[in-house]
Amino acid sequence: MIGHDSPGPSRTTVPFPRVLDKVSWRSHMLTFAQATRTPYLPQAPDLRAPLRLFCFHHAGGTAAVFSGWQRLIGDGISVVPVQLPGRAERSGEPRPGGLPELVARLDTELDPWLGAPHAFYGHSVGGLVAHALARHRAAAARSVPERLVVGGCFAPHRPHVARAVTELGERDLARWLVRLGGVSAALLEYPQWLRAAVALTRDDLALAAHADPGPLDPLPCPVDVFTGENDPQAREGEPHEWARYTSGEFCARWFPGGHFFPWDAPAAFLDHLGARLTAGRRTERAGVATAR
C-alpha cells in the first residue's frame, strides 16, 4: 500500500510515481484516499510530500485552526489537520468519552496514513492527545512520529492543571477562556453561543483532567516543546518537565505571544517549525537545547 514501508526486498525500490504515468498516479491517489477515508481527516495528506505533519487542535477547537498552515510551511511538508468528533461537521457525533478511548480510535483511523514518514504537532490539550497516540503506537511496536512537537501544553504527569479548570462554573470558565485568548470577550454577551463553547471546551479538557498516565516509558523520537512567553498558564521551567518523555533529542523554546502564540505570528512560527522538522530528518542529535 502506498504510504507504508515495503515489507521485503521483493518490492521494487523505484519510487512509485516514477513507474506510473500522471493519469495512473492521480487515479491511484484518488483510489487510496477513498479507501482510507476517515472523518478524523477533513483532507487527505499529500502522498507526494516527504513528510506528513498531523496537527491536533486545542480544547474547544477544530481542525480549521490549522487552515493556512500549508501555504506558510511549504510544499515539503503535508499539513494534515485532525478533526475530533463532536464539533464542526462532526457536531452530531458523541464527544470522546476519555483519552484511552480517543487514542484507540485515532490509532485505527489514522493508521493507514502513518506508515510513511510523519510528525505530530499538538496544541494545548492537543499536545497531550498527540503524545498519548505516539506512546500508544510505540507500546504496540508500530510506527511512531519522527518528531513530537507540542505547544502551550503542560506535561502529562500534571493533569491537575486541567482538572482545576473543568471544575469552574460556566461563567468563570468562559472568563478563563477570554483571559487565555481562546474566545472573544464579546461571546460573554451571547449566552447560547457561550454555553456551547464552554461545554465543548470542558469536555475536551476532561480528556486531560481525568487521564491517568501511570508509568510512562520515554518515546524513541525527539520531542520539542514550544511555549508563549506571555501564556498565563505557563511557568518558568515547566517546558523542561517534558524532557523525561523522550530518549532522544529534547528542545524547549519560548516564543513571543500568549497561549495561542502560533497564531500571533504564524509565518515566523511555521518557518521555525518547518526548519525543526526538516533539519531533524537530516541530523540525529542527542542532548537538550534551550532557546529564548
SS3 of 12-42: CCCCHHHHCCHHHHHHHHHHHHHHCCCCCCC
Q: What secondary structure letter does DSSP report for 175? A: H
Specify if 186 maps to a domain. no
Per-residue pLDDT at 17? 40
Q: For 111-126, write each residue's pLDDT tens digit.
A: 999 999 999 999 999 9
Going by pLDDT thresholds of 50, 70 and 90, the confidence category of residue 29 is very low
Q: For 160-191, write each residue's pLDDT tens digit.
A: 677 888 889 988 999 999 999 888 888 788 88
Helices within the chain (DSSP H only) = 22-35, 69-73, 99-110, 125-139, 160-166, 170-180, 191-209, 266-282
Specify if 138 maps to a domain. yes
At residue 133, the 3 state secondary structure works out as helix
Specify if 271 maps to a domain. yes
Distances (CA, A) of 101 to 151, 166, 263: 23, 19, 30
pLDDT at residue 215 above 90?
no
Judge whether 103 and 133 are in contact, CB under 8 Å: yes
Specify if 169 maps to a domain. no
Measured in Å, how far apart are the chain's first and last C-alpha atoms?
A: 43
Per-residue pLDDT at 73? 96
Going by pLDDT thresholds of 50, 70 and 90, the confidence category of residue 147 is very high
Amino acid at residue number 80: V
Contacts of 44 (CB under 8 A, 6+ apart): 33, 36, 37, 80, 113
Per-residue pLDDT at 265? 95
**In the chain, how many H helices and how many E strands?**
8, 7
Q: What secondary structure letter does DSSP report for 147? A: -
Q: What percent of the chain has pLDDT over 70?
A: 81
Per-residue pLDDT at 19? 39
Specify if 273 maps to a domain. yes
- When pLDDT is averaged across residues 66-83 and rounded to a whole number, the result is 96
3-class secondary structure for 260-275? CHHHCCHHHHHHHHHH
- When pLDDT is averaged across residues 248-261 and rounded to a whole number, the result is 96
Going by pLDDT thresholds of 50, 70 and 90, the confidence category of residue 64 is very high
pLDDT at residue 140 above 50?
yes
Alpha carbon 265 to chain centroid, angstroms: 19
Specify if 109 maps to a domain. yes
Judge whether 174 and 187 are in contact, CB under 8 Å: yes
Specify if 208 maps to a domain. no
pLDDT at residue 33 above 70?
no
- Total domains, the chain: 1
Q: For 8-26, write each residue's pLDDT tens digit.
A: 333 333 333 443 444 443 4
Q: Is 131 exposed, middle or buried (0-12, 13-18, 19+ CB in 10 A)?
A: buried
Rounded Cα–Cα distance for residues 79 and 66 (Å): 8
Per-residue pLDDT at 283? 53
Radius of gyration of the chain (CA): 19
CATH number of the domain bearing residue 255? 3.40.50.1820
Long-range contact set of residues 24-32: C-beta below 8 Å, sequence gap at least 24: 28/2, 29/2, 32/1, 32/2, 32/3
Per-residue pLDDT at 16? 36
pLDDT at residue 146 above 90?
yes
Specify if 100 maps to a domain. yes
Scan for cell 529564548, then name that residue: 292
Residue 138: give the domain boundaries: 36-155+216-291
Q: What percent of the chain has pLDDT over 90?
A: 63
